[in-house]
Structure 1
Amino acid sequence: MYLIDTNVFIDAKNRYYPFDVVPGFWDWLKSAHLSAKIYTVEAVYDEVVCTADELCEWIKRMPKTFTLPAGDIGAASLTRLSGWANTCPQYTRAAVFEFLGAADYFLVAHAHTVSATVVTHERAGTGSRNRVKIPDACEAVGVSWMNPFDMLRTEQAAFRL
């Protein structure tokens, strides 16, 4: 099971798979969801719907089951992730505060709860002190992660004319 980060949707729309050029990508996401492979979380949904564009309309048309509710996140996962962030000396207090209030925190915690793989364009080990990166948070709590292209290859997705 995969949980998709906001940046995957936005970059797909803006760069790799525009709705008018590669509609198959968006159809594949829906099909993969209906096969119980792909989801997102409520906090990511909230970030996407605030844009009021074609992506916003697409995610609103997805089945309600596509978005996992925040109430399903295990308290132990939230506690473990916040404990790591608060004790990691690499990050500034502002970076930790921002992370704990952002969709990234809920995405990683939800993945930890349900043993899912997080899909994001972010990369691990960038050495950032001012921003907690999703892959670093995933690795800290034992959650797998990958970029969207690796997910598409793993799932043998192909968009052909």
Structure 2
Amino acid sequence: MAYSIDTSYFVNAWKIWYPYDTFPRVWTVLASAASGRQLFVIDRVYGELRKQVPDLVTFLDLHAPGWSRKTSGDPAMNSALTRLESDLLAGKVIRDYPPQNVRRYLGVADPAIVLHADLHGHVVVSNELSDQYTKKGSKLPDLCQLRGVQHATPAAFAAIWGHTFRVSAQPPPAGASCQKYSSMRRTKSDSLGGSWAHALFSLPSGSTSRKDLGRPRVVALSTS
């Protein structure tokens, strides 16, 4: 099984969750998986990552050549995008989605990620939450569900590599930013054999409001 990684996951992982200077072995594992074609990004995501985290792109280009897969110019992808455009205009993906935004949405990475995964049987990995009523564009989990594509959250993706996320009983300090609190809670060890805590944006238990995303929750990542 291969995993297609969304831009937001890699940006958060590189900048906030597992910065390379603190967790180099995490990136050794991910680079090895990318080198073995177990995970990858499509060309649209690669272009976004080059703008947002160029040092990550340089690292993976060096250690996992070929980790980006081309989708532009693929006849099967072009046909899939045309069908998705029809579904969008018919309101099958997003309710009340302005028609003038359809073409713009089809030009970003998200729809191509899901359609490519659908064509090739891949799993999509992102930290997006379902929101079927947004007018800004279908969220990845919703589009995956529509197309019958598997979607993995950051916690599920960590479990694939033998790690688990555990919510801590200790709340973060009031007003603490994700990056700042991550630094406060992290252990000094960079070994994958240990455990550490960091902040992860997620909905509190029982909550259904996206407004609750403004506060990081403390979780631990450890080997299982």
Which structure has greater strand proportion? 2
Task: Name the larger-Rg structure.
Answer: 2
CA–CA distance in 2 between the matches of 1:135 and 1:54?
Answer: 28
SS in 1 for 2:66: helix
C-alpha distance 52-10 of structure 1, shift in aligned 2 (>3 A): closer
Q: What is the Cα-based RMSD across aligned positions, in Å?
A: 2.2
SS in 2 for 1:21: coil
C-alpha distance 52-26 of structure 1, shift in aligned 2 (>3 A): closer
- 1:67-146 alignment runs, 5 A limit: 67-70=68-71, 71-72=73-74, 74-75=76-77, 76-88=79-91, 90=95, 91-125=97-131, 127-146=133-152
For structure 2, list consecutive stretches of 5 or more residues without a partner in the other structure. Answer: 165-191, 195-224
CA drift at 1:62: 4.2
CA drift at 1:24: 1.7
State the identity %.
27
Quick one: which amino acid aligns to residue 74 of structure 1?
A: A
CA drift at 1:82: 2.8
Quick one: which amino acid aligns to residue 125 of structure 1?
A: D
SS in 2 for 1:105: helix
For structure 1, list consecutive stretches of 5 or more residues without a partner in the other structure. Answer: none
SS in 1 for 2:52: coil
Report the count of equivalent residues: 161
CA drift at 1:73: 6.8
Larger deviation: 103-112 or 30-39?
30-39
SS in 2 for 1:118: strand
Q: 4+ residue stretches of structure 1 with deviation over 3 A? A: none
CA drift at 1:85: 2.3
- 1:3-42 alignment runs, 5 A limit: 3-42=4-43
Q: Deviations over 1:117-154 (max 9, x none)?
A: 10001011352122221111111111111112201202
Number of the residue aligned with 1:57: 58
CA–CA distance in 2 between the matches of 1:50 and 1:63?
Answer: 19
C-alpha distance 132-96 of structure 1, shift in aligned 2 (>3 A): farther
Q: TM-score, normalised by structure 2?
A: 0.64
CA–CA distance in 2 between the matches of 1:31 and 1:128?
Answer: 37
